[in-house]
Amino acid sequence: MRDEDGIALTMTLLALILFSVLGLFMTLDAVTGVRIGNNFESHARATYAALAGLDHAAVLLGGLDLDEVLRGPDGAWDGSPEAVAAARATRFRLPLPLRTAWALDIEHPGGATAGLPDDGILSTGALGGAAGLPLIPVSGLPLSTPAAGGGAGRVLSRYFVKVTDNNGDPSELDADPGDDPFTDGDGVVIVRSLGVARVFAELTGTLVRRNSVVIFETRLRRDRLWDPGPALTVIGSAVDALFAGNPVIDGAGAPGIGAIDTDTGDGVDPAHLLRTAAAAAGTVAGGGLETPSVEDITAATASDRDRARLLDPRALEEFLRVRAPRMADLVLDGPQAWIGGRAPDLGVYNGAEPWNAPGQAPRITLVRGDLDAPGGFSGGGILVVTGSLSCSGPISWTGLVLALGEGRVELSGPGSGIAGGLIVANLTPAPAGVRFGTPRVYIGGEARVRSDPAAVRMAISLIPADRISFREITTADP
């Protein structure tokens, strides 16, 4: 009997041990499952935060000067050879060091990010010796749950963004032979976004790791399609042109008028037609050419990757029908008559002031129809007209005027005129979609059109940049 009791006790103890081990295993398995779930959720939050940072940066870059962005809110940078070499390195693209990101307190990151350089931090730009306002600060931006009483609740994740130059790229070296990392040459910048989200803290070596970290990188390119160079650019295989009165077309360092021949084999030379018309009246100067300063820029346009699309009528049609309506601040449908100060708000831009001076507010305006402005107009940014453009009143415009569609322009009013560029093209419906027709350019009176590269650069900055590459940064960088 005693032997049976001993065996029963032993079996009971073994069963208890077995169930204890099984319980411990199930507990450990449950903890592991919770950690796996937490890691997955945290990684997803960090991913969405990093993607949000990229999208936010792409929107904020609109209207900003890329050189000022590369130099940061204070507008200052270290130009020493060592600092410049470091700024060209890939690791310079990180918004903050990885070890800092892993251990960061995402609720209160200020202590860990204080002292980090502000180069590449998106801001309104330095002005008059004062630092600009950071748009995505060096301490990042939080993504939070809504609080019960309104306002922000618990921080779930945070993103950090930095903009750097595409140093070493052939296009950058062509435009900026010195490869200065704080000066943009080709309109292409690299945006890197780092997203962080909490995980269960764990000790990794000597580091307490508190966050999941995800990094994405994209390259954004500003579209230089609308920067052919001359003050007036006419696109077509022929042109109907008339100059009268005392107009002035000044190309400054570029030709006054540039002709893009869309059919070089038809025996018609639009540059010759424009030169003959311009010789009748007014002054057309620029580019160190004899007056009237008119040049065929077809070859130069065709050899440029961005500007070559000026020779494609479908590209111009796509801009008019798809891109322009999406990006425009103001869309006006049907014929427009601006008489006696009845022009709408076309933006404000003073070319004599810094781009970020108070009051600078350029806009994109699309007129889907004819525009008759006997009362003149003023403003800044981009004005797109799909019908005929006629203005006998005073003009004070800084930026680009694109007369695309009917491609008919009549300017005769006084005033400072157009400072930037005027591009004219006739797009005619065809069985295959659209083809180039004959543009009509009539310039007389005291009309003024002056090439201004800074004004064109400002106008182009309003067009959303194209995303030309995208990748996740994991272990290989680059």
pLDDT of res. 115: 86
- For residue range 120-175, what is the model confidence (pLDDT) as tens digits? 999 999 998 899 999 999 999 999 887 766 666 788 899 999 999 999 999 899 98
| pTM of the predicted protein model | 0.87
Q: Does residue 192 surpass a pLDDT of 80?
A: yes
Residue matched to tokens 């930026």? 399
Task: Domain ranges for the chain, please list them.
Answer: 35-222+465-473, 232-461
pLDDT at 70: 94
Give the separation between CA 116 and CA 119, rounded to whole angstroms.
9
Asked if pLDDT for residue 22 goes beyond 90, the answer is no
pLDDT of amino acid 433: 87
The mean of the pLDDT values for the chain is 90
pLDDT at 193 over 80: yes
Q: Is the pLDDT of residue 206 over 90?
A: no
Q: How confident is the model at residue 69 (pLDDT cuts 50, 70, 90)?
A: very high
Please say whether the beta carbons of 420 and 455 come within 8 A. yes
List of residues 6+ apart from 206 with CB closer than 8 A: none
The model's pLDDT over 409-450, given as tens digits with 9 standing for 90+, comes to 999 988 889 999 999 999 999 888 899 999 999 999 999 999
Q: How far apart are CA 176 and CA 170, in angstroms?
A: 10
SS3 readout for 220-232:
EECCCCCCCCCCE
Q: Which of 14-23, 132-141, 186-195, 329-338 has the lowest mean pLDDT?
A: 14-23
Instruction: Answer whether the bond into residue 478 is a cis peptide, omega within 30°.
Output: yes
Encode pLDDT of 232-258 as tens digits. Answer: 999 999 999 999 999 999 999 999 999
Task: Note the pLDDT of residue 41.
Answer: 85
Q: Tell me, what's the pLDDT at 464?
A: 93
- pLDDT confidence of residue 198: 87
